[in-house]
Each structure stands twice: as C-alpha cells, then as structure tokens.
C-alpha cells in the first residue's frame, strides 16, 4: 500500500462512484466513498486522507464549499473537482485541478502525482485538452465499409480548414474524430481544445468560450482569457452544440464569419485564428424548425459534415474494438487477461449497443476488473447482455427519450416531487436531473 493511498471520492452518481472506487482499489489505493457532502465530512473527521475527488454538483453542498470544509479538517489534503466550473473555482480562491468526467485519463494522471509528490502538478480543466500523440488516422479502429469511407473523408476534409459539423449518437466517438481532423491539419502543432456546451450554464459557457473583462473597484481592468484566445492557431471543438443558447450561437456564427469577437463585459474586439469543429448527437435541422437553433449557423456548420455510424451498423468491427479495449484495460490494471470467449463475441454481435462504442468499452473495462481468469466470459458481462432480446410488437416500441421521460416521472411521483431523492434513485447528479427535466419540459 502506498503511503499516500487514502482517497475520498464524493459523487451522487452511485454507479460512477463505485466504478471509480473499484478502479482505485485495483491500483492499490484505499478508497472511501461518499454520495453527499455530509458523508464526506464524517469520513474526513475519522480517517487520515491524502486526496479527495469531489463532484462539483452535490445534493447538499457546493463542491468548492465542501473542498474548503475538508481543508479545514485536513489542511494538506489534495483535492480535485470533477466538473468544468473553473470560473467559480477561481472566484472562490480555490486553486484546484478540475477534471471532466468524460476524460478520466487526466484524473489518473493527477492521482499519480499523489504517489510521486515531487512532480510538478498543474491544474487541468475540462476545457483545456491537448491532442494526444502520435497524430495518426490509425486512432480510428474498424475495417467495415462505413469506417473505411469515413477514414478517406477525414483525409480530404482535414486540409480544408473550414468549420465542420460531426453528427453521431452518444458514444460513437465524435471527439476522437475531431482530434483526428486536428492532427491531420496544418494546425496540428497548435492546441486542440474541447468544451461540452451542456456542461455549463449560459453565462459560464459564454465566459469560458469568449473570456471576460471587467473593472474592479479601483478602476483596473481585469481580463480572463477565453478558450478562443487560448486556442490561437489551433482548433476549438464545441461538443453538443445543440445545447448552446441562441445568444451564444449568434456569437459563434459571428466569430466564424469574421474571426473576431468581443469578450463578455468588454468593449475591445479580439482577432484570433481558430478553426471551429462542432458536434451534435441530435437532429439539428429539427432544432432549427423548433426555433431552438439558428438556421444560419446550422447551414454554416453543415456545409461540411461527417456522420458517424452507430455501432449496430458496423457490427463486424466489434471484435477489433473489443480486443483493443481488452488490451488497454488489461495493461492499465495489470491483469493477465488476453482472450474474449466466442460466446461473449456472439453476445456482443446480437446486442444493439444503444450506448455505442462507449458502452462496449465500459463493458470490457468492467469484465477486466471482475475476471480472475485469462479469458472474459459471459458471466463477467453486465446483466443486460446475459438475457436474450425478445421480439416486441413494433407498435409498442418507444424512443429512449420517451422511456426516460416516463421513468423520471415515475421516480418523481415516488419521491413526492423531491428532486434530491429522485436524483439519488436515478443515479445521477441533481444538475443532470435538472437538465433532463428542462429537456422534457418537466421543470414547470
């Protein structure tokens, strides 16, 4: 056991909490799990902790306020926030590393600094991600016709240096494609920065992208550089662009056309050379018809677009992807597992993978964690893979959104309208629940 091995994880998404806890255990750390600020404080009072990993949005306390409370208990405690709200962190005076849940490689890197404290630790934000190396189209795994066509199109489109729209369901690898486009372009020596438009509220999103200027009480102008300036010469990737408010859509369109913008609260025009790549997992044209997305921005982005096929349309690639993830996690967890049974591969090919490549990756990761053998077997898979799918009359089928909406309503009815309790039952944060209520017009 490492000397600096006692790590507190605080998150109200129970499945995520236990997954991180299990991964830490496999890395010879001792994790303490808490689903609320109150639980976290109790643990901190009774155990000597070396590090705390805190979700920004907790049901009973703000993540930064909890960090301050934990620091009062353990002054030398190293703390990392799981979200992208760097703006609030800086306002509170908390110099904390900030990690996006969707990019946990950065989290493991930070935890490594706990084991080797002599290394310089730099704060990392979800918005500031540099492209991995080497830069090759070989990142994209697959040999099916649709993937081969996608690879050819990437080589052609990358050199155009125009805005690009990537369309694909959740989990199909839109950010990987965006990074590949950047790596194939003449901008590859400069920064690739990704930001998820659904992660922030409108004001913070505006400040994150365009920066902020304001005068303090002494009349001194204070500047906070936005991601467009940080990405000078490189690429800014706007994921889930459909969730950007109309005002921000207008500012993005203006920037694409003029290569300039005015920071929030400022009066100076800033000129930068940055390529915009946007992505959506929804039907943007439908959003245009509903008045939720600007038509002019849609046509500007959609002039050059890439559509990513869902995994169910490229099932012959499943064995390649499965073995890629097997090798990745076997190496990461130090496991001597090198084979996937034929029954598992058959099960995968008969499954529709609504969560696409990401769902396959998580299934393999879980199997590697659970197995004590050299082979992944059906017993190591989540239960949804173990039971054959039954024929269902077509007229009774519903969309995932319809099913999710009905279930959220059922849980809210059970909790008598308590959103905190509902979020716990659903295994998501209160912020995520709020977004879903707004999406389904249930927030009235």
Mean pLDDT on 177-189: 92
Mean pLDDT on 217-246: 88
Q: Which of 24-38, 333-347, 391-405 is predicted least confidently?
A: 391-405
Here the contacts of 350-355 (C-beta below 8 Å, separation 24 or greater) are 350/388, 350/389, 351/384, 351/385, 351/389, 352/312, 352/389, 353/310, 353/311, 353/312, 354/400, 355/170, 355/171
pLDDT of residue 3: 47
Q: Looking at the chain, which residues constitute the CATH 3.40.50.300 domain(s)? A: 137-307
Mean pLDDT on 364-393: 80
pLDDT of residue 444: 63
Mean pLDDT on 67-75: 87
Q: Tens digit of pLDDT for each residue in 9-24?
A: 998 878 778 878 877 8
Please say whether the beta carbons of 141 and 322 come within 8 A.
no
Spatial CB neighbours of 312, under 8 Å, sequence gap ≥ 6: 352, 353
**Kind and range of the H or E run holding 215:** strand 212-215
Determine what percent of the chain is predicted with pLDDT higher than 70: 83
Mean pLDDT on 268-275: 92
Spatial CB neighbours of 29, under 8 Å, sequence gap ≥ 6: 2, 5, 6, 7, 111
Q: Looking at the chain, which residues constitute the CATH 3.40.50.2300 domain(s)? A: 6-115
Q: Which CATH superfamily is domain 137-307 in?
A: P-loop containing nucleotide triphosphate hydrolases (3.40.50.300)
Residue 279: pLDDT band (50, 70, 90) is: very high
Q: Tens digit of pLDDT for each residue in 325-353?
A: 999 889 888 889 999 999 999 999 999 99
Mean pLDDT on 172-176: 92
pLDDT of residue 427: 76
Architecture of domain 322-385: Orthogonal Bundle (1.10)
Mean of per-residue pLDDT scores for the chain: 82
Give pTM, 2 decimals.
0.63
Please say whether the beta carbons of 405 and 442 come within 8 A.
yes
Largest CA distance in the chain: 71
Q: Looking at the chain, which residues constitute the CATH 1.10.8.60 domain(s)? A: 322-385
Mean pLDDT on 276-283: 92
Mean pLDDT on 111-131: 44
Query: Residue 251's CB: how many other CB atoms inside 10 A?
Result: 19
Architecture of domain 6-115: 3-Layer(aba) Sandwich (3.40)
Q: Tens digit of pLDDT for each residue in 402-429?
A: 888 888 888 888 888 888 888 878 778 7
pLDDT of residue 129: 37
**Kind and range of the H or E run holding 370:** helix 356-370
List residues bridging with 30 in a β-sheet. 6
Token pair for residue 346? 């058959």
Residue 127: pLDDT band (50, 70, 90) is: very low
- Of residues 391 and 81, the one with the higher pLDDT is 81
Q: Looking at the chain, which residues constitute the CATH 1.10.10.60 domain(s)? A: 394-439
- The CA R_g of the chain, rounded to the nearest whole Å, is 23
Transcribe 294-351 into DSSP letters: -HHHHHHHHTSEEEPPPGGG-GGGHHHHHHHHHHHHHHHHT----EE-HHHHHHHHTS
pLDDT of residue 103: 58
- DSSP letter, residue 429: -
Structure-token match 């996006």, residue found: 100
Which CATH number describes the domain made up of 394-439?
Answer: 1.10.10.60
């Amino acid at each position: 056991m490492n000397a600096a091995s006692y790590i507190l994880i605080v998150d109200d998404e129970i499945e995520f909490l236990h997954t991180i806890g299990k991964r830490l255990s496999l890395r010879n750390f001792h994790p303490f799990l808490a689903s609320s600020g109150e639980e976290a404080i109790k643990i901190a009072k009774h155990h000597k902790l070396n590090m705390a990993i805190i979700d920004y949005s907790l049901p009973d306390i703000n993540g930064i306020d909890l960090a301050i409370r934990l620091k009062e208990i353990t002054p030398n405690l190293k703390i990392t926030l799981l979200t992208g709200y760097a703006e609030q962190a800086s306002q509170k005076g908390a110099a904390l590393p900030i990690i996006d849940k969707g990019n946990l490689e950065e989290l493991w890197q930070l935890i490594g600094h706990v084991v080797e404290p002599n290394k310089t630790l730099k704060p990392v934000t979800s918005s500031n991600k540099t492209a991995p190396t080497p830069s090759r189209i070989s990142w994209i795994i697959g040999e099916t016709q649709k993937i081969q066509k996608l690879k050819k199109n990437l080589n052609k489109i990358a050199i155009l240096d125009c805005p690009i729209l990537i369309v694909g369901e959740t989990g199909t690898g839109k950010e990987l494609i965006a990074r590949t486009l950047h790596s194939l372009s003449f901008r590859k020596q400069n920064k690739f920065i990704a930001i998820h438009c659904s992660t922030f509220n409108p004001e913070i999103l505006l400040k994150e992208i365009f920066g902020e200027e304001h005068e303090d009480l002494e009349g001194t102008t204070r500047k906070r550089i936005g991601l467009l300036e940080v990405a000078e010469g490189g690429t800014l990737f706007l994921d889930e662009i459909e969730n950007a408010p109309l005002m921000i859509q207008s500012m993005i369109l203006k920037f694409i056309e003029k290569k300039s913008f005015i920071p929030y609260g400022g009066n100076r025009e800033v000129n930068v050379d940055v390529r915009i790549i946007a992505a959506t997992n929804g039907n943007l044209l439908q959003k245009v018809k509903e008045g939720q997305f600007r038509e002019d921005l849609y046509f500007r982005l959609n002039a050059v677009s890439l559509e990513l096929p869902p995994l169910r349309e490229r099932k012959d690639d499943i064995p390649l992807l499965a073995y890629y993830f097997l090798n990745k996690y076997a190496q990461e967890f130090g496991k001597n597992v090198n084979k996937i049974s034929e029954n598992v591969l058959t099960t995968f090919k008969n499954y529709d993978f609504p969560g696409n490549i990401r769902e396959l990756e998580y299934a393999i990761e879980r199997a590697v964690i659970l197995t004590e053998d050299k082979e992944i077997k059906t017993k190591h898979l989540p239960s949804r893979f173990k039971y054959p799918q039954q024929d269902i009359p077509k007229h009774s089928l519903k969309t995932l959104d319809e099913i999710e909406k009905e279930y959220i309503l059922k849980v809210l009815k059970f909790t008598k309208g308590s959103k905190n309790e509902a979020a716990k039952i659903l295994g998501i944060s209160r912020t995520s629940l709020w977004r879903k209520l707004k999406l389904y017009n249930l927030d009235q």
